[in-house]
Amino acid sequence: MKRFLINWLIMTIAVGVMVALLPGMQAKGEPPILGIAAFSLFMALINASIKPVVHLLALPFSLLSFGFVALVINWLFMELASWLAFSFFDVGVVIDGFWWSVLGSLIMSIVSSIVSGVFGK
């Protein structure tokens, strides 16, 4: 449980940076950090549960498409996390399109790596 909470904190920081940098991402909620926290909660749950299985099953297609399938899967997971956050908590992060999610995934990956290194995870 402690590991999941640390992953959620790291994801929340990464999503906060992503929302701050990308005009195609908006946090909805009062205060906006609630939307970021709800979105990152569902992203952390997805990353811990179904993402490894889906990426493993899609690996042959991802190799054939030079990684495009992996980008589509990441976009779908971000849309799913956004939908779940709005459905359960009525706050979340609005994603304006596919390419914003690709840039967002890149930013989240870089920031998560930096923050994980700082925390010594």
Q: List the chain pLDDT tens, one digit each, 121 residues.
A: 888 999 999 999 999 999 999 999 999 999 999 999 999 999 999 988 998 899 899 999 888 998 888 889 999 999 999 999 999 999 999 999 999 999 999 999 999 999 989 887 6
Q: Which residues contact 25 (CB under 8 A, 6 or more apart)?
A: 18, 19, 93, 94, 95, 96, 100, 104
Indicate the length of the chain as a whole number: 121
